[in-house]
Amino acid sequence: MEDYLIREIDKIGELLMHVAKRLGLVGEESPKYSVEDVKAEFGKAGLPLELDAVLQQPNPVRYLVETVQISDLGLESFIDIVFHSDLDEPVKQALLADALAWLD
């Protein structure tokens, strides 16, 4: 039941984001984040996620899905935030490739 509620909340959040974009409240351009900003936001959200440990995993996306049990929408949001951070390009490319392979 809890998983169902989380999925439904994710769907509502996605719908609200699309509405906000159509109304012009949210731009299409994603903001740039520093890695420290990302870590701070995860901490504020109460997400027990050590970003450095996740990125050191051989398959970080598999780790997030199977161990942390992140939803597909949560995974997409995580990848979007990390991809628009100041992380090294090779790390971002590897993470993006891993995410695309998982979501495909």
Same-domain pairing of 70 and 91:
yes
Percentage with pLDDT > 70 across the chain: 79
What is the spatial distance between Cα 35 and Cα 6, in angstroms, rounded to a whole number?
Answer: 27
Same domain, 10 and 41: no
State pLDDT tens for residues 8-57: 777 777 766 766 666 666 665 655 677 787 777 777 766 667 888 888 88
Domain residue limits at 78: 32-103
What are the distances in angstroms from CA 52 to CA 9, 33, 90?
28, 15, 15
Calpha distance 34→52 (Å, rounded): 13
**Same domain as 55, residue 8:** no
Same domain, 26 and 39: no
Instruction: Give the pLDDT of residue 25.
Output: 61
For residue 45, what pLDDT is reported?
67
**How confident is the model over 69-95, as a mean pLDDT?**
83
Residue 55 and residue 19 share a domain = no
pTM above 0.75, yes or no: no
